[in-house]
Amino acid sequence: MEQELTERIVHLVLQLAIILVAAKVAGELCLRILKVPPVLGELVAGIIIGPFALGAISLGSFGALFPTPHSDGATAAGIPLSPELYAIAQVASIVLLFAAGLETDLKQFLRYAGPASLVASGGVLLPFVLGAGATVLFGFTQSWMEPEALFMGAIMTATSIGITARVLGDLGRLDSPEGVTVVGAAVLDDVLGIMMLTIVVGISASGSVSPGGVAIIGGKAIGFWIALTGLGILVSMPVSRLLGWFKVPGAELALALALAFLGAALAEGFGLAMIIGAYSMGLALSQTRLARELEEPITAVYHALVPVFFVSMGMLVNVPAMGSALLFGLVISALGIIGKLVGCGLPALATGFNLRGAMRVGVGMLPRGEVALIVAGIGLARGVVEQDLFGVSIMMTVVTTLLAPILLVPLFQRGGEGHRSAKHMAAASPAPDEAGAGGR
């Protein structure tokens, strides 16, 4: 037993070594040569070294580095990774969303809640309808209310906070009306998308659909998120002072991560995705001294651990299994683009943006990024979808994430105001000191 445990540990640390090297090399190539976000390189690296590609090659007596589900009976249900590696990837996703919450400017988010909510609503409703409808039309399920259709609709709603904020920050437009609206709407999109996934998982588990059941699951999700976030905001200052009392080196980082893990566990206990709890904890602490103190250490943890999540998500992609759904993947990718451009662009026009500004908002909402990968991984792990639809969702995520920076940069570089009323824009723009806070 002891020898078997040692062998599994050695296997795990070798896997982590290969994953980190592959993630950083692929990310560097993307950043230097392709000029696209490193996350795409990490995702592709996972596909290449994963159990459906090079990872399945036997290394003699050592066996395959990343065995397929058929060659390793200890894999998690529906997941072609060892339970140990998959658990580390889930911890990494908690760190990812906790850091995203810490980086969110809560005051600015609340200030632009009106336009952002309208944009987010359009960015959820239209993509959801397009994704679910296409799943039915292509024969993957018989009804809009089947878990497969609901899952594809849910994953179409996601928007990557990290990727969009990074591009806008590099352009110096994170505190512009378009930038603040996009980031605020992206936050709401992710919350709504994850809540939709929670409903889908609940329906899949119960095997039935009823309006009352959907209302209960949805109310439970929204109620828990509001309660956890509200309670976190109320106690954030005392918690920040309490953590600052510790003099042990690294205590603030360790205890803050403990809060993130606690929030994640509570969310899972309520039948929700763990990342909702982690994000809520980060958002609650975002305006405290603790958030500023954690900026450097949490970034170090982020860069060391989060690539494991993205590479692991790439490893879940079974490229051969996607062959039968290739056309559907292309259609879903096109609908994913249309859904955000139209669903977010039209509400932006209605809230005072001109056509240029509405295009910036629509394109800024395109990338699905890390949140879509988290949603897809949960859907596969919970048995909501099979490998073909999972692969389609990954394809859509890669396409939209790749296109967003390519289209967004020239839209801003061409100059020109994005709001129809310069007076309104001046009144809505944050003050200089607040703008600095929004771009941290």
Q: What does 88-106 look like in DSSP terms, one character per residue?
A: HHHHHHHHHHHHHHHHS-H
pTM: 0.74
The pLDDT assigned to 44 comes to 87
Question: Which residues does 440 contact at the CB level (< 8 Å), separation at least 6?
Answer: 103, 105, 295
The pLDDT assigned to 322 comes to 67
The pLDDT assigned to 310 comes to 84
Select from 107, 114, 113, 100 the least CA-distant residue to 159.
Answer: 100
Q: Please state the φ and ψ torsions of residue 22, each to the nearest 5 degrees.
A: -60, -40
The pLDDT assigned to 439 comes to 39
183: number of Cβ within 10 Å? 26
The pLDDT assigned to 427 comes to 46
The pLDDT assigned to 69 comes to 55
Select from 341, 319, 314 the least CA-distant residue to 397.
Answer: 314
The pLDDT assigned to 437 comes to 40
Mean pLDDT per 10-residue segment, the chain (440 residues): 80 93 93 80 89 84 74 50 88 87 74 81 92 89 81 84 68 74 77 70 64 67 80 90 90 94 87 78 89 90 90 80 78 94 92 87 84 75 78 83 78 74 47 41
Domains contained in the chain, CATH given: 5-65+83-438 (1.20.1530.20)
Query: Would you say 66 and 330 are in contact if contact means Cβ atoms under 8 Å apart?
Result: no
